[in-house]
A and B are shown apart, each in its own frame.
Chain A
Amino acid sequence: MAASPEALSRRRSLGLLLASGSSLLLGGCALNRWSNAVGEATQPLNERIEALLQGKGMLPEFRRNQVEPEALLVNSFNGIPKLAPSSYRLVVNGMVRRPLSLDLAALAALPQRECVIRHVCVEGWAAIVAWSGPRLADVLALAGPSPLGAYLAIRSADQYFETWDLASALHPQTLLATHMNGAPLPVANGAPVRLASPIKLGYKQSKWVIELELMTSLGDRLGTWEDKGYEWFAGL
């Protein structure tokens, strides 16, 4: 390096900057180990901005004839669990006055809503899908949520785990979908019950949902993919 402070002139330091910049392409591998630290340093601010950007109101939807069934790819982290519809129960517990165990008939008895939205995967692909089922907000309201509840933990039959901020869970277009594109939800897409929402990335939208737990704070586990490095808020 420079022998004297003056030797590291502006010219030289800028040269070094340019050289290091151009070697980024070749030396990217060396920077890869910093990825997580870089994400942890910047995600809190990004997530705050995301939460501010996210409105509570309805987002415009697509027309029913715009759905793209072939564009919806299937991702599964642990195979496809078998859930018998007759014995299926959705458990709602945590910070609620009336813990629930709802069967499919109870979910079908709630007001049904269809949302034709763009399902966006973290991988980059997207598909317009018509999801239908009860609103997640209506299901939570049945259980008498405590005002202290701020987060929702979602457990799936395949051990997939997710946590959401309550505002996103209560969004009027966040559904517990039981139908897709007008037909009963296929097993590969999460039958009998899955999350569907226009305001979150696909990995937030758990399939094969069996338990909702209202929590006052987040625990050690943020989610199956979040714990591996994905963003937690993942707002769209």
Chain B
Amino acid sequence: MIATPAAPAPGPIGPSPLWTRAFHGFNLLVLLLMAASGLEIYNANPVFGGREGVTVPELFTLGGWLAGGRDWHFAVMGLYAANLGLWIGLLLRRRHRRLAGTGDLATLRGSVHPPRRRLASHRITYTLMLILLAFSLLSGLAMYKPAQLWWLVSLFAFAEPAGFSSWQTLRVCHLATIPAIAMLLVAHVVLSLRVGGLRLLRAMVL
């Protein structure tokens, strides 16, 4: 085991359970595939600007053309959903104390102790990531089966008074999960390194 440093540590960092590490690693892989193939689909008719809209550089896309992008997107969506669903389910049952709660928000508001604040931010960040990933799945499902899941699409009608159809809102929301998760990912990596350093990385990856 790694020796606990003298400084107040947020808790010992033992290796995480195998399932945590497996879901974590696999999630990263399928997320990259989903994002790249999703951007390929985006290019067929950019959400912003339609046919005259700016497309994503081919470097960041996967599939080669629309049908290829859809091949990848719909091939991976099941794996992505199963991985995320099982992961969140197990987290809630077995390790829900690791997920952020109101205590973390109180820490951010009240504490002046930097390590505590960092840990709270870290917990909030990865919990938000899980919520966002689940949202990307639900918004994607609404777009995949808008007729059968019409009630899911109707949840996106909130911008209709502003002149945006529920379909356009749905497309924007589904696309927005990519920049949102990318920003959270950067914060997540920075915070993990600051909270647990390489020890935490090792505990999570190996």
Contact = CB atoms under 8 A, between A and B. Distances in A.
Nearest to A55: B148
Contact of B72 (A14, A29, A35, A230): A35
Interface string A43-64: 1011000100111000110000
Given A21-B28, A28-B62, A118-B146, A229 B68 contact: yes
Contacts, number: 128
B62 A42 contact: no
B96 interface: no
A62 to B, nearest CB: 10
Interface-centre pick from A38, A45, A124, A236 (highest chain B CB count, 10 A) = A124
B77 to A, nearest CB: 9
B14 interface: no
Nearest to A121: B45
A41 B75 contact: yes
A120 B146 contact: yes
Interface string B142-177: 000111101000000000000001010001000000
Contact of B206 (A11, A36, A53, A230): A11
Interface-centre pick from A31, A68, A230, A235 (highest chain B CB count, 10 A) = A31
Interface in B156-201: 165, 167, 171
B126 interface: no
A217 to B, nearest CB: 24
B148 A53 contact: yes
B36 A38 contact: no
B137 to A, nearest CB: 15
Interface string A174-200: 000000000000000000000000110
B63 to A, nearest CB: 5
Interface-centre pick from B25, B32, B51, B69 (highest chain A CB count, 10 A) = B32
A22 to B, nearest CB: 8
Contact of A32 (B50, B68, B205): B68
Interface in A14-41: 14, 17-18, 21-22, 24-26, 28-29, 31-33, 35-36, 38-39, 41
Interface residues of B, number: 41
Nearest to A9: B206
B206 A126 contact: no
Given A21-B32, A199-B147, A35 B63 contact: yes
B206 A10 contact: yes
B148 to A, nearest CB: 5
Contacts of A128: 165
B145 A35 contact: no
Nearest to A29: B58
- Majority SS at the chain B contact face: helix
B206 A35 contact: no
Nearest to B167: A126
A55 B161 CA distance: 31
B89 interface: no
Contact of B45 (A18, A68, A125): A125
A162 interface: no
Given A28-B61, A125-B50, A236 B146 contact: yes
A157 B75 CA distance: 34
12 contacts: A10-B206, A18-B28, A21-B29, A25-B36, A25-B59, A35-B63, A36-B71, A43-B74, A73-B51, A124-B41, A126-B167, A230-B67
Interface of A: 10-11, 14, 17-18, 21-22, 24-26, 28-29, 31-33, 35-36, 38-39, 41-43, 45-46, 50, 53-55, 59-60, 68, 71, 73, 117-118, 120-126, 128, 198-199, 225, 228-231, 235-236
Given A21-B32, A31-B62, A39-B74, 15 more contacts: A14-B205, A28-B59, A33-B64, A35-B71, A39-B71, A45-B78, A46-B78, A71-B165, A73-B50, A118-B146, A122-B44, A122-B70, A125-B50, A199-B148, A231-B70
